[in-house]
Amino acid sequence: MKTLALVLFPGVQSLDVSGPMDVFAEANAFLPPQRHYRLVTIGTTPSPIRASNGQQLGYDLALDAAGTDYDIVLVAGGPQLAQQADNPQLSAWLREVAQTAPRYGSICTGAYLLGRAGLLDGKRATTHWSDAARLAVEFPLAQVEHDRIHVRDGRLVTSAGVTAGIDLALALVAEDHGQAVSLAAAKRLLVLAQRQGGQSQFSPYLSEASTPESLATIIQRHVMDNLAQPLSVEQLSAVAGMSTRSFARQFVKEMGVTPAEFVQRARVDAARNLLEGSELALKTIAYRCGFGSPARMRLVFAQRFGVTPNQYRDSFLVCHG
């Protein structure tokens, strides 16, 4: 019997707790009693702990009485965790448990707790796509992989945002008991046993610019209104009323990507939404989003996500249907 500990704190994302725990609990239904997971929750403040959604959560053990004898230790994430100060007691406990636990890690922004304990230094890790850049800056010795559902580096395991904790838990079950048990648990929870591609396929690429008349806003609006058109750098610079060189330089400064990359992301994002929310033929989606042909759209999806548009559509329908 393996013991799994999951760490809670004020402002924790409740799904980061319940999602993985449900995976291990469902896996127990397909295992003999002597191979069950024993699930333990650990709290950093007096019970109950209030989650980010307002829910009150109890726990089994307080941090100061938790000990370190666990087979798997995971710290959950929370929407404000990146902005919170270090918890020295928790950091010390995590460093101690990491010395002996066969596997330890984080769900979503729980990676920040590992980073503050020095456990990401020299390691590959991931977190929610919207926090990955900040994680890389705050912990420069870590190798942050921005587009991974979950990452294994030795005994360290980390996952992307929220529901990716379920993916990580399913992967751990598969390691322990094989794909058949992991698949059975996934079917019980009506989720995919293994999501294909990176987390960017499940998140919007484009964010609103800060001011309505900024260069970024003008170009974004034009691109989204004219996706079926070629949208070359020369055409976009004409829309902006600038020389091609000046436009490209200013656009990168404001948006952090080249105009060509922005257009490609916009096309992919639009195609993603049509695949999720419509039954349009791939040829129609490819034309509307400016890929020109289904073959070109398939190539771009394969390069960016490792899946075809049809596989993406099938995955979304399985997850949400």
pLDDT tens sequence across 192-216: 666 656 665 554 444 444 455 788 7
Token couple for 204: 């919007």
For the whole model, what pTM was predicted?
0.69
Q: According to the model, what pLDDT value does residue 205 have?
A: 42
Residue with tokens 């990507």: 257
Which is more confident, 220 or 111? 111
Tokens of 262: 């922005």
Cα separation of the two ends of the chain: 35
What CATH code is assigned to 2-189?
3.40.50.880
223-247 residue pLDDT tens: 888 999 999 999 999 999 999 999 9
Closest listed residue to residue 142, CA positions, set 155, 159, 119, 123:
123
Using a CB cutoff of 8 Å and minimum separation of 24, what contacts does 221-230 make?
A: 223/262, 223/263, 223/266, 224/266, 224/270, 227/266, 227/267, 227/270, 227/288, 227/289, 227/290, 228/287, 228/288, 228/289, 228/290, 229/290, 230/290
Give the span between the Cα atoms of 177 and 27, in whole angstroms: 9
Q: Which of 95, 97, 37, 93 is nearest to 73 (CA)?
A: 97
pLDDT of 255: 81
Give residue 47's pLDDT.
94
**Is the pLDDT assigned to residue 28 strictly greater than 90?**
yes
Q: Is the pLDDT of residue 117 over 60?
A: yes
Does 215-318 match 2-189 at the fold level?
no
What residue segments make up the domains of the chain, in order of their start? Answer: 2-189, 215-318
- % of residues, the chain, pLDDT over 70: 91
Tell me what the mean pLDDT of segment 13-18 comes to. 95
Residue 317 has pLDDT above 60, yes or no: no
For 36, the token pair is 């069950």
| pLDDT for residue 305 is more than 70 | yes
Which of 51, 81, 108, 216 is the catalytic position?
108
Tokens matching residue 275 = 């695949």
Range with the poorest average pLDDT among 38-47, 83-92, 115-124, 177-186 = 177-186
* C-alpha–C-alpha distance, residues 21 and 173, integer Å: 11
- Pick 215-318's CATH classification: 2.40.37.10, 1.10.10.60, 3.65.10.10, 2.60.120.10: 1.10.10.60
Higher pLDDT, 110 or 187: 110
Which one-letter amino acid corresponds to residue 210? S
Top-confidence residue, 3 or 306: 3
Q: What is the pLDDT of residue 295?
A: 96
pLDDT (mean) for 134-150: 90
Q: What is the pLDDT of residue 198?
A: 62
Is residue 289 part of the annotated active site? The answer reads no
pLDDT of the residue at 257: 83
Write the pLDDT tens digit of every residue in 34-74: 999 999 999 999 999 999 999 999 999 999 999 999 999 99
